[in-house]
Amino acid sequence: MGHLTDQAIKETFKNYQFDIQWEPTIFLPKHPNALKFKALKSDETVLDEWTAYSVGGGTIVDDETESETIEIYEHKNLAEIMNWCNQNGKQFWEFIEDYEGANIWVFLEEVWNVMQESVERGLNRDGVLPGVLKLPRKAQSFYSKGKNYATPFKRRSQLFSYALAVSEENASGGKIVAAPTCGACGVMPSVLVHAKKVYKSDKTAILRALATAGLIGNLIKKNASISGAEVGCQGEVGTACAMASAATTQLMGGTIYQIEYAAEMGLEHHLGLTCDPVAGLVQIHVLKEMHLQQKGPWHTQLLQLFLMEDTALVLMKWWKPCTPPGLICKVSTAKLHRAGWRN
């Protein structure tokens, strides 16, 4: 299972008789990422059953609940929040502090510590990731090689290695921060650790950037989805990049308008990003599999063409250019202008 959920279940119920049945072709109507528990008598009669849904970012709901947390924000979208910030002369992180209280900084400090620790652990571990792919860890190698590069390439290589380090910790069942999900957990820590080391961002600034990033992630989760099982990698990595873009822009002194624009661009450039995990694991995608098999670059290029074709076939016709208009019919020019858009 991608996030080692089956291993966690086996460890929890190791003193009980149980069986895990996989049903990859069954999609329940509430959410595709579902786990059904059944308690049985010795004669296989069902005593009770409960279905849980993992809807992204660690949130678990069932058929009777829509949210596992208490709603404390009265604002439902970024436009309303920006209006509040303008009226009160405050930044996004101040908006969060007003609603969450001072204890939010204690929580975010723990988040930041876990992020840093996951980067450090990932950079200092080698070996093979669990699962049938027998994929070797690469973060340590990337980091070591990067030390020999000129400064621009060195920094880029280190940035990549931080993200890999956390992703590999996730793939091996290590402690990470779902930011916003386990599958996209490497993006935020890599950017923030990079900002700390290269731009000397202090802890207070980083915690405030984390608050703003969390605001962006929650807005996407509330109004769309961050669940890869529901909307694909655009919902996970796309949201993570929007969060990281917002956080970085704030660290660089950006206004709330620049932060909003950065988050939008981070999400926009991942719209349509597909997800096809090899062997159901969050370790490697199809293109990397071709590279590991060492079949040469032309095989990879050929596979890209096949994937492009397959993706095109499942895309609805109104999501392509030069076809009957889709989104342009749903979002009129008048609505765009009311939202502040100008050509």
285-310: pLDDT as tens digits: 533 433 333 344 444 444 444 555 55
pLDDT classification of 64: cutoffs 50, 70, 90: confident
Cis peptide before 180 (omega within 30 of 0): yes
Question: Ranked by mean pLDDT, which of 1-10, 121-130, 222-231, 276-285 comes out on top?
Answer: 121-130
Considering the chain, tell me which residue range(s) the CATH 3.30.1330.90 domain(s) occupy: 5-62
Q: State the architecture of 5-62 in CATH terms.
A: 2-Layer Sandwich (3.30)
Rounded average pLDDT over 64-82: 86
Q: What is the pLDDT of residues 190-207, one digit of tens each?
A: 999 999 999 999 999 999
Strands (DSSP E) contained in the chain are 34-40, 46-54, 60-62
Query: 60 pLDDT band (50/70/90 cuts)?
Result: confident
Residue 161 has pLDDT above 80, yes or no: yes
Maximum pairwise Cα distance, the chain: 69
How far is it, in rounded angstroms, from Cα 311 to Cα 189?
30
Written as one letter, the residue type at 182 is C
Residue 251 has pLDDT above 80, yes or no: yes
254, 260 contact by CB (below 8 A): no
Backbone angles phi and psi of 24, in degrees to 5 = -65, -15
DSSP letters for 115-151? HHHHHHHHHT--SB-SSTT-PBP-HHHHHHHHTTS-H
Residues with Cβ within 8 Å of residue 64, at least 6 apart in sequence: none
pLDDT for 4 = 76
Answer for the pair 282, 228: CB distance below 8 angstroms, yes or no. no
